[in-house]
Structure 1
Amino acid sequence: MMELTILGGPGEHGRSSYLLRRDDQYILLDCGMDIQPEYDGERARLGPIMPGLQAVFLSHAHEDHSSGLQILQHYGYQGEIWTTRATVRQLPVCLKKMEYERYALTEAGSVHAQAEVTSRDELQFRYLEDMAPPGEWISIRPELEICWGRAGHLPGSIWITLNWYGKKIFYTGDYSAESRLLQADRPLHHSRIVSRAHPLPGQIPDLDLAIVDAAYGVDTDRQGNKLAQLGRYMKETLLHSGTVLLPVPVYGRGQELMLWAYEQFPKVPILVEQELLDALKLFASDEQWLQPDGVGRIERLLQSTRLHSMTDDSSREALIQAHSSALIFTDDGMMQSSKAQQHYMRVAARQDNRVIFTGDLAQGSFGRTLMMDMEHRGCQILHVRYKVHQGLPDVRQMLLDLKSPRTLLVHAPVPRTDGLALRLEQEGFQQVHSLLAEEQLVFG
């Protein structure tokens, strides 16, 4: 038997981390953990198991999946962290607020070489793309085989299948098959692979457990519908000579939306915080994760005379004064920073302007407060989700592709997850779990 302990992920749209145990051996899938000084739950839990921790897998660089790296560091973890080169390159961007510069990161050589760790502050990363292409099974320990694929969430983001002591576990990380810029490899049960003439997908056997991104619950909208709605709102605003402010995370959907907006509105000035442009250049450096035309599209945007970089308060003021109608991208998806809030103050006074949020807004965030303010006066506040996770049709198709394994739905608040689990059960899917952090699941 094998045991899964949920450190974070189900029942919340935030930290994601899953601890697998067989006897006194452990594997960690992502390490997005609460690391506030006053909270020592993860430290207390991980400290005793550190000698038995066999491997760590990091699906991508976003803080809610990687913030616990410093806990591994704290305990002097000397094993491998399996991920991709693109993910490691992104960590300084995604963990900037956590003083990532304090990390001493070392890259070990061959996977079969002995680890040489001289300091408890060093973490060792192993790169899956150096071992095998997407969809191929490889052995990284005598008792552990893995298969990985591109997850379509970020450059370098992956899904993972493990075969550990004969138990097969699939983990999506954050998965989206609908990106207009990133490629995603479709995980398929081996019985559903009919031709090698097609790009090689993941060859997944019968699973003991699937941990599946279900962040959007029963939402059935496709990406095209979301973008059509977003495009209508933006077009209406621009026709009235207004400005649209789009708060986005520093690395992720913001780069996709900048590119989409540039192509949709060919005469409109686009004002972008330099941090977002720096991250866009990182996208372009990871061609193997992009759609075939991705690099060319990014280069055309970066070379455009309509693209204007905002680097400080004076450049922001000058550009906004020079362009009374524009698209503005600021690098804070929930508008918690003073910079993002200053952007809001600039556009708020005019009713023809709009602020459009495109992701989840945490309770208590500035963005959530704006959305909930029924007495708000001034510019319009709207919300149109850009898909970077899975909703009902995506989860349904994934479970069918994997031949309906026992499934844990993750990455969404409890009501959203419960609703999706009920819907899937009504459609005939069995053993679909909606659980909470701290709970355990025994399987196999």
Structure 2
Amino acid sequence: MQRLHLQGGFGEKGRTSVLIDDGESRVMLDAGIKVGAPPEDYHPLLAHPASEIDALFITHAHEDHIGALCWLIGQGFAGPVFMTPTTQSEMSATLDQYAHVFDLATYPVSKAAIEVFEPGDEISFASQRIMTGHTGHVAGGVWFAVQSGGKRTLYCGDVVPESAVFPMTPMPEGDMMLLDCSYGDDRTPASVRAERIVAWVAERPKGSVLPTPLSGRSLELLAILSGPLAIADLMYEPLREQISVPKLLKPGVAERLAERLETTHRWKPGDPLPNCPLLVHDGMGSAGPAALALEMAEQSGHPVLLSGHLPEGSPGHRMRELGNADWFRLPTHPTLPQNRVLWENAGRPRLMGHSCEAKALEEIQHALPAMVTIAATGDSTEI
């Protein structure tokens, strides 16, 4: 038997976290934060004291999956933290932007016992066996399949089954699947979304600002945009590192993106906005070079295109609401048809959807009849 504790990301977007307890050990999957949330909802809702959690496994270095790491250490967690080398290399940049200043200074990741593994590795920890595989979401991002107590839970984290840049490894069959439902009932293919973004950029030849996460969507945009292109200067080294390991990308993509990266103009804060598309991180405009670039664009009426999740209260959300920015989704999560295929290939197990509000889960239950639509952060269930 496994007991699952939904610690964040269920019935909401952000602070993604799950605890799996098989009666002998407790393994936590992800420790995210929720951008724009009040203090009581910013970090995961722990089902047990942090000191009683035996290990933490991280899928990737986006803030809604790793942003609470310093906080968790401060709460008393002292177990090993498992992540891929790419996640480890990107971890500090994410925590610098999203961890609370006190936690970052008092409980730095240097205090964490980090253990590195490669996508595709199988890890045995205490009584639990964890399979891993590529997610298609970011370089080095992984899904987890946790086997213990005679049951197997599949945790997607964030996945993209048909990315043009990153591979996704097929998941095994399981008894429970925690599915990335970020896009709810969205059925539009990624190719159509990409065409719309390319056309929008082409219609604004005097330049535009495209906020994007430092990993994942930034490389997807780099792959589809042709012609002159600028990136925030601070993005160059992280992007170069992301494409430095070709096996983390689809065949031939690393070489193509490396050539493209070398032709980009590197924009620094204090420079005027360039007369070409400019990629800046982060995707919400809440931190990093994007915060300044969006402020400059809004003051001058410079075009802005947002392409991902916008938490209420974020600069990107505010600009879109005021009509000062456009928004076209560039998929970095699965569409509903893709989720249907993932579920069927996993043997049609019981389902819970994360990174999605309950109302949206109800709207997709017709396609995913095993979906538990009332699952919410703070709930627990046995399988």
Cα deviation digits, residues 209-244 of structure 1 (max 9, x gap): 111111101100111010011122222223xxx322
Q: Does 1:275 align with 2:275?
A: no
Amino acid at match of 1:416: A
What's 1:139 paired with?
A: 124
**Runs of at least 5 residues in structure 2 that lack an aligned partner in the other structure:** none
Structure-2 change in CA distance of 1:160 and 1:47 (3 Å): closer
Alignment match of 2:136 (pick from 146, 152, 163)? 152
SS at the partner of 2:377? Answer: coil
Deviation at 1:145, TM superposition (A): 1.6
| Pair 1:83-2:100 in alignment | no
- Superposed CA RMSD in Å reads 2.6
Aligned AA for 2:199?
Answer: R
| Deviation for aligned residue 1:170 | 0.6
Question: What is the DSSP-based 3-state SS (H/G/I as helix, E as strand, rest coil) of the residue aligned with 1:246?
Answer: strand
Q: Which amino acid aligns with 2:278?
A: I
User: Hey, what does 1:64 align to over in structure 2?
Assistant: 64
TM-aligned CA deviation for residue 21 of structure 1: 2.3
**Using the alignment, how far apart are the partners of 1:73 and 1:148 within structure 2?**
24
Q: Tell me the equivalent position of 2:148.
A: 164
What TM-score do the two structures reach when normalised by structure 1?
Answer: 0.77
Q: Is the 8 A contact 2:50 2:76 kept in 1?
A: no
Pair 54,164 (structure 1): closer, same or farther in 2 beyond 3 Å: farther
| Structure 2 partner of 1:424 | 367
For 2:304, the equivalent position in structure 1 comes to 355
The 1:128/1:235 distance shift into structure 2, 3 A limit, reads: same
Q: Which residue of 2 aligns with 1:27?
A: 27
* 1:334 matched to 2:284: yes
Q: 1:19 to 1:138 in 2, by over 3 A?
A: closer
Specify whether residues 171 and 43 from structure 1 end up closer, same or farther in structure 2 by C-alpha distance, changes over 3 A only. closer
Q: The residue matched to 1:31 in structure 2 has which SS?
A: coil
With over 3 angstroms needed to count, the CA separation of the structure-2 counterparts of 1:431 and 1:244, relative to structure 1, is: closer
Q: Aligned match of 1:398 in 342, 348, 351?
A: 342
**Is residue 436 from structure 1 mapped to residue 379 from structure 2 by the alignment?**
no
Q: Answer whether contact 1:220 1:392 (CA < 8 A) is retained.
A: yes
How far residue 159 of structure 1 moved from its aligned partner, in angstroms, is 0.5
Contact kept? 1:335, 1:367, Cα under 8 Å? yes
Measured after TM superposition, the shift of residue 151 of structure 1 is: 0.5
TM-score of the aligned structures, taking structure 2 as reference length: 0.89
Q: 1:91 to 1:137 in 2, by over 3 A?
A: closer
- Identical pairs, percent: 24
Does the CA contact (< 8 Å) of 1:63 and 1:94 recur in 2?
yes
2:223 aligned to which of 255, 259, 263? 259
Query: What is the CA distance between 1:104 and its match in structure 2?
Result: 4.6
Structure 2 counterparts to residues 374-385 of structure 1, below 5 A = 376=323, 381-385=325-329
Structure 2: which amino acid aligns with 1:95? L
Report the Cα distance in structure 1 between the residues aligned to 2:21 and 2:243, rounded to whole angstroms. Answer: 38
CA distance in 1 between partners of 2:355 and 2:241 (Å): 26
| CA spacing shift, 1:290–1:41, aligned 2, 3 Å | closer
The one-letter amino acid paired with 2:283 is G
Q: CA deviation at 1:299?
A: 2.0
Distance 1:37 1:224 in 2: 37
**1:230-309 mapped onto 2 (5 Å cutoff):** 230-238=197-205, 242-261=206-225, 265-266=226-227, 269-304=228-263, 307-309=264-266
Which sections of structure 1, spanning at least 5 residues, go unmatched?
107-121, 188-203
Where do residues 168-183 of structure 1 align in structure 2 (5 Å cutoff)? 168-183=152-167
Residue type at the aligned position of 2:112: L
C-alpha distance after superposition, 1:359-386 (max 9, x if no partner) = 011112222222222xx4xxx7321111
* Counterpart-to-counterpart distance in 2, 1:356 and 1:75: 39
The code of the aligned residue for 2:281 comes to D
SS state at 1:418 partner: helix
Q: Supply the distance in 1 between the matched residues of 2:299 and 2:33 (Cα, whole angstroms).
A: 36
Contact between 2:45 and 2:377, CA under 8 Å: does it hold in 1? no
Shift of 1:146: 1.9
Q: Report if the CA contact (8 A) 1:180-1:291 is conserved.
A: yes
- Highest Rg: 1 or 2? 1
For the 8 Å contact 1:60–1:87, the answer to whether it is kept is yes
Deviation, structure 1 residue 433: 3.7
**SS of the counterpart of 2:162?**
coil
Distance (Å, rounded) in 2 between the aligned partners of 1:340 and 1:46: 40
1:18 aligned partner: 18
Q: Which moves more between the two structures, 32-41 or 92-101?
A: 32-41
**C-alpha separation in 1, matches of 2:163 and 2:372:** 26
How many angstroms apart in 1 are the aligned matches of 2:321 and 2:191?
26
CA change 1:418–1:278 in 2 (3 A) is farther
1:102: Cα distance to partner? 5.7
